[in-house]
C-alpha cells in the first residue's frame, strides 16, 4: 500500500470489527462445542451410546458445511451484514432450545438447524475480518478472530459446563444460560459492521480483481481445491478428539469428571494459543512454512498421546500441543491461503466452499466413522484415526501456492 493509503486506513473500525467478529465466533464455538463435555451426563438421561454421539456431532457439521457453501456466495452478492446478523440470532436461539431435547431424534433436529445458522456465520465472518484488516495484519487479525472459537468453545466451555452442572438443576439449564449473550452481539453487529465495495475488498487479494465472476471460477485457483483437502485433514483431528475425547478419558483411562474437564480444556487453550501465535508469524515468514510446521508437530504429539496413561498433567500438555498446531492450520486454510488467492467477488464464496466441503467430509462423515470404530473396536483407536488424517495434510502443503503479502512483495 502507498503512504497515503496507510495514513487513511481506518484502524479504529478495524479493531472494533475484529473484536466484535471475534466475540461472535466465540459464541459459535461455545454453542457448538459445549455439548461435548455434557455428553457423559446426557447419555444417561437420553439413552445415548457412542454411535449416537458420533451422529449428533456429525449432523451439525454436515449442515454447517452445506450452509457455508451457499452462504458464502450469498454474502458476495448481498453483503456481510444481512447474513451475519440473522445467523447470530438464530444459532443463539437454537442453543437454548437444545435444552428441550427429549431423545436422539429431537436433538439431531435441533443440532442440524443450528448447524445451518453457524455455517452461514463462519465463512462470512472470516471474510469480514479480512476486509476490516490491513493486509499486513491478515494473519494476525484472523488468528485473533478464529482463536475465540477455541478459547471459548473448547477451552472455557468444559470448565464452564462442569461448574454450571454443580449449581443448576439439570444439564438442560446450561444450554439456556449460554444462549443469552448472542442477542446482544447481534445488536452490536448491526451498529458496527460495514459492507465494503468490491474495489476496496480487492486490496486484500493477490489478484486485485474486483470484476464479477461465476462461483465455479473459484476452482481455477489451485489453492481452493487443495485447501478443501487440507480441511478434511485438520477437521478429522478436531472433530474426532472433540467428540470422543471426554468418553476416552473417562471410560478408557478412568479419569473423573473434573479431571476430564481439565484435560478437555487443553483443546481450547491450545487452539487459542496457536491461533494467537502461528497465523501472525505467517505474516512474516509465509503461510506454507507455518502450515508444514503445524502438521509435523501435531502428528508427533498425537502418536505420543496414544502411549500416555491416566496422567492428567501430561495428557493436558500433549492435547495442548496438538491443538496449538491444528487450529492454526484451520485458520490459515479457511482464511489467508484461500481468500488471498481469489478475486474480491469470490472471497466469501471460496472460503465458504473450503469451510463447507471440509465440514461435510471432515466434520460430518469422520465422526460417524469414528463412532463405529469406537463402538465396535474400542475407543482407544480414535487417536490412530486422528494421527492418520493429520499426516495426510503434508501432501497438501507441498502443492499450495504462497499468498502472504510479504512473500509477494506487497
Taking only the tens place, the pLDDT of each residue in 112-128 is: 999 999 989 999 999 99
pLDDT, position 5? 42
Domains present along the chain, CATH in parentheses: 9-408 (1.20.1250.20)
Regarding predicted confidence, which is higher, 316 or 80? Answer: 316
pLDDT at 302 over 90: yes
Mean pLDDT of all residues in 124-140: 89
Residue range 220-246, pLDDT digits in tens? 999 999 999 999 899 889 888 877 888
Residue 79: burial class (beta carbons within 10 Å; 0-12, 13-18, 19+): middle
Residue range 340-365, pLDDT digits in tens? 999 888 888 999 999 888 877 776 67
Average pLDDT, the chain: 86
**What is the pLDDT confidence band of residue 390, given thresholds at 50, 70 and 90?**
very high
pLDDT, position 363? 65
pLDDT, position 175? 85
pLDDT, position 262? 87
Its pTM stands at 0.80
Rounded distance between C-alpha atoms, residue 45 and residue 48, angstroms? 8
pLDDT, position 6? 46
pLDDT at 37 over 50: yes
Mean pLDDT of all residues in 125-146: 89
Residue range 44-64, pLDDT digits in tens? 788 887 778 778 877 887 888
Amino acid at each position: 500500500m502507498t503512504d497515503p493509503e496507510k495514513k487513511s486506513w481506518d484502524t479504529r473500525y478495524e479493531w472494533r470489527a475484529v473484536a466484535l467478529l471475534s466475540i461472535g465466533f466465540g459464541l459459535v464455538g461455545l454453542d457448538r462445542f459445549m455439548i461435548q463435555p455434557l455428553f457423559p451426563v446426557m447419555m444417561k438421561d437420553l439413552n445415548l451410546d457412542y454411535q449416537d454421539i458420533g451422529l449428533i456431532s456429525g449432523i451439525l457439521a454436515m449442515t454447517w458445511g452445506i450452509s457455508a457453501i451457499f452462504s458464502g456466495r450469498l454474502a458476495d452478492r448481498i453483503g456481510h451484514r444481512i447474513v451475519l446478523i440473522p445467523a447470530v440470532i438464530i444459532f443463539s436461539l437454537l442453543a437454548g432450545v437444545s435444552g428441550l431435547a427429549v431423545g436422539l431424534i429431537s436433538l439431531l433436529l435441533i443440532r442440524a438447524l443450528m448447524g445451518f445458522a453457524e455455517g452461514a456465520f463462519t465463512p462470512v465472518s472470516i471474510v469480514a475480518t479480512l476486509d476490516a484488516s490491513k493486509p499486513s495484519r491478515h494473519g494476525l487479525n484472523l488468528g485473533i478472530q478464529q482463536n475465540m472459537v477455541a478459547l471459548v468453545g473448547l477451552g472455557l466451555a468444559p470448565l464452564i459446563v462442569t461448574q454450571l452442572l454443580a449449581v443448576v438443576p439439570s444439564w438442560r439449564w446450561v444450554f439456556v444460560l449460554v444462549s443469552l449473550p448472542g442477542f446482544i452481539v447481534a445488536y452490536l453487529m448491526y451498529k458496527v459492521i460495514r459492507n465494503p465495495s468490491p474495489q476496496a475488498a480487492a486490496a486484500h487479494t493477490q489478484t486485485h480483481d474486483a470484476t464479477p465472476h461465476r462461483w465455479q471460477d473459484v476452482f481455477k485457483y489451485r489453492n481452493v481445491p487443495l485447501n478443501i483437502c487440507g480441511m478434511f485433514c485438520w477437521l478429522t483431528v478436531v472433530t474426532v478428539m472433540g467428540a470422543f475425547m471426554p468418553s476416552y478419558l473417562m471410560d478408557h483411562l478412568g479419569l473423573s469428571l473434573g479431571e476430564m474437564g481439565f484435560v478437555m480444556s487443553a483443546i481450547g487453550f491450545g487452539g487459542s494459543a496457536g491461533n494467537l501465535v502461528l497465523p501472525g508469524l505467517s505474516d512474516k515468514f509465509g503461510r506454507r512454512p507455518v502450515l508444514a510446521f503445524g502438521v509435523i508437530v501435531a502428528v508427533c504429539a498425537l502418536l505420543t498421546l496414544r502411549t500416555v496413561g491416566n496422567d492428567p498433567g501430561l495428557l493436558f500438555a500433549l492435547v495442548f500441543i496438538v491443538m496449538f498446531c491444528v487450529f492454526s492450520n484451520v485458520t490459515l486454510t479457511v482464511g489467508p491461503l484461500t481468500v488471498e488467492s481469489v478475486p474480491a467477488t469470490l472471497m466469501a464464496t471460496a472460503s465458504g466452499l473450503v469451510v463447507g466441503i471440509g465440514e461435510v467430509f471432515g466434520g460430518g462423515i469422520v465422526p460417524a466413522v469414528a463412532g463405529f470404530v469406537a463402538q465396535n473396536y474400542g475407543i482407544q483407536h480414535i487417536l490412530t484415526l486422528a494421527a492418520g488424517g493429520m499426516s495426510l495434510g503434508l501432501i497438501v502443503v507441498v502443492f499450495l501456492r504462497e499468498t502472504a503479502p510479504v512473500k509477494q512483495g506487497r
